[in-house]
Structure 1
Amino acid sequence: MPFTPPEIQSLPSVLSAPRFATYLAAKGGDKRHALELYQWNLELSAAFFVPLQICEVSVRNAILKAIETVYGANWPWERGFEITLRDPKKAYSPRRDLQNLRHLPTSGKIVAELKFAFWEKMLTNGHDADLWNTYLFASFPHADQTSTVQSIRAQGHNSLFKIRELRNRIAHHEPIFSRNIQQEYDRIREIIAWTDPVAAGWVDKIQRVTGMIPTKP
């Protein structure tokens, strides 16, 4: 639906000049076209939440499977697991993230509250010895089994880093219109497919991301 003259007049100030400037610059200063791009970016960001949600749930459940195999159902309270977690002082600390949630009554509630970054950091090489050398392909049975554990684990970590960065941009209402949207979707889909190709196919059926690519204003 076309923007009305009052919308073209009011919306840029509602969105704030600094935020709208990116879209205005992309459309050569044309407010109407910039608003069309802003709306497309808004709707695309909303569409991404479907594959992003399935990706996060599938990844954390796959990683959790390996953790529970090694450390048991009470893994959040196991000292042996805690000491494997990184604890940098001036960056995100998986160890502190876990410690801050131990007041919760069940491991399931802790899993639901751990940050996406926690699961990303679980795919660093520091967990090869205790988890991935033995259990990577049990957790991700449809990853490329002709590749080494280390290369698949590294690929997974790199993909999750990029997926989390996209997720954070969307969550902070930042523009994503200049990205390669098909590539972003394919990366998310591939990680889902590592755990279950049927789930990846289902996401293909229900997602709206790729259908929006040719409608970019």
Structure 2
Amino acid sequence: MVKVRGFACVAIRNAVHGVLAEHFDRADWWNTPGLDARAVSTARDEEDKLAARLPKVTADDVVAALSFGFWSSMLGGPKGALEQNLYWQRCLHRAFPGWTHRPNDARGRKAFLRRIELLRKFRNRVAHHEPIHARDLRKDHDRILDVAALIHPDLASFLRGHSRVPDVLARRTAAVEDGVCQF
């Protein structure tokens, strides 16, 4: 599950960064005047941390250092600000070409943001070594693949083809049914 989730989170990060860099015509789009102050501050803080330990900091270094929480908040996150809504309508929706709603469709965007928020929360549970055995892991896996398909159908196919999650879950079910382990 960690591998599938990790690929999906990196794909989201790269897709969002790509459309923002294209929209603002610069790889360090966070240095564009007039952007959301919170996002700018977070990105610049990361840039400063990297500058303290790297001889030359690139935009790719900063992008890789930013947390998944940062990227989900750029999409709107649970506290989606007006700025993120405007960025969504202007460019961020293009990071998810599989998303079939119009950019100004508030209901569709809310459902999309819910998916991203569920992925973020699941990612945090796994990253913080919280127990996940009682969750519906098949549903979590399917949600990750659904979000990946919004970025590119080939990404979802790749993840599905390389994921061991369905096999592991089937073996877990068999072990429980055979009395080898209990929940």
Question: What's the TM-score once normalised by structure 2's chain length?
Answer: 0.77
Determine whether 1:59 maps to 2:12.
yes
Structure 2 gaps of 5+ residues are 51-56, 177-183
Q: Partner of 2:122 in structure 1?
A: 166
Q: Partner of 1:143 in structure 2?
A: 99
Give runs of ≥4 in structure 1 deviating > 3 Å: 145-149
Structure 1 gaps of 5+ residues are 1-47, 87-93
Q: Which amino acid aligns with 2:115?
A: S
> Among 147, 150, 165, which residue is 1:209 paired with?
165
RMSD: 2.1
Deviation at 1:79, TM superposition (A): 2.9
Whether the 8 Å CA contact 1:55–1:191 is kept in 2: the answer is: yes
Whether the 8 Å CA contact 1:181–1:210 is kept in 2: the answer is: no
> Mean alpha-carbon deviation: is it higher for 64-73 or for 50-59?
64-73
Q: Partner of 2:53 in structure 1?
A: none
Q: Distance between the aligned counterparts of 1:79 and 1:134, measured in 2?
A: 16
Equivalences for residues 102-181 of structure 1 within 5 A: 102-103=47-48, 104=50, 105-124=57-76, 125=80, 126=82, 127-129=84-86, 131-145=87-101, 149-181=105-137
Whether the 8 Å CA contact 2:24–2:32 is kept in 1: the answer is: yes
Identity %: 26
Deviation at 1:80, TM superposition (A): 1.9
Deviation at 1:184, TM superposition (A): 0.4
Q: Which amino acid aligns with 1:53?
A: G
Structure 1 residues 64 and 152, CA gap change in structure 2 (3 angstroms): farther
Deviation at 1:141, TM superposition (A): 0.9
Whether the 8 Å CA contact 1:76–1:98 is kept in 2: the answer is: yes
Q: Partner of 2:23 in structure 1?
A: 70
Structure 1 residues 111 and 170, CA gap change in structure 2 (3 angstroms): same
Q: Partner of 1:79 in structure 2?
A: 33
Aligned length in residues:
160
Q: Which amino acid aligns with 1:117?
A: G
Deviation at 1:85, TM superposition (A): 4.4
What is the CA deviation profile of residues 96-146 of structure 1, one whole-angstrom value per residue up to 9, with x for unaligned ones?
4212122342111000000100011011143122x2213244221111236
Deviation at 1:148, TM superposition (A): 5.1
Larger radius of gyration: 1
Q: Which amino acid aligns with 2:65?
A: E
Structure 1 residues 160 and 137, CA gap change in structure 2 (3 angstroms): closer
Deviation at 1:57, TM superposition (A): 1.4
Deviation at 1:70, TM superposition (A): 2.8
Q: Partner of 2:153 in structure 1?
A: 197
